[in-house]
Amino acid sequence: MPTFVYMTRCDGCGYCVDVCPSDIMHIDTTYRRAYNIEPNMCWECYSCVKACPQHAIDCRGYSDFAPMGHSVRALREEEKGTISWKIKFRDGREKNFVSPIRTTPWGSIQSPADYAAPAQAAFKAQELAHEPEGLNIDKLPTLTPDRLKQGVV
């Protein structure tokens, strides 16, 4: 389900604009509040829901079943480090889920600028930055020619 913004709660901080991978959270130039400019293009990743400090972003139910009474609410609680989801089914049942916003302490992740500049040879390598050590493995798995033949009759 795509998202929408309660403009009365939004303070225009722009966190959702910065975090949206689809670049569809924009600030309305007249009201200085955020809005989802293109719900059809929403990835439904809910990064904006998790980032919003004002609890101003919610999930828009699909028009074919939302009128039947279902709802999805998200609540970000930064002091607890959790995000809670309250799912209400149209038969009245409710399910509640609580997940950590992240699994590492706040501020513990190095920014790209904290790492040494890569050597020239790294630009020609197949590995992405900080692979394989960033994946906690010694070496990336590779497909060898003998394994390619498996399954070929």
Chain contacts with ligand SF4 (rule: CB under 6 A)? 2-3, 5, 10-16, 19-22, 24-25, 34, 36, 42-48, 51-52, 54, 56-57
Distances (CA, A) of 71 to 11, 60, 90, 101: 24, 8, 8, 21
Q: Which residues are catalytic?
A: 43
Smallest gap, in angstroms, from Cβ of residue 109 to ligand SF4? 19
C-alpha–C-alpha distance, residues 123 and 82, integer Å: 38
Cβ–Cβ under 8 Å, residues 5 and 35: yes
Smallest gap, in angstroms, from Cβ of residue 101 to ligand SF4? 14
Q: Which is nearer to ligand SF4, 39 or 81 (CB)?
A: 39
Smallest gap, in angstroms, from Cβ of residue 4 to ligand SF4? 9
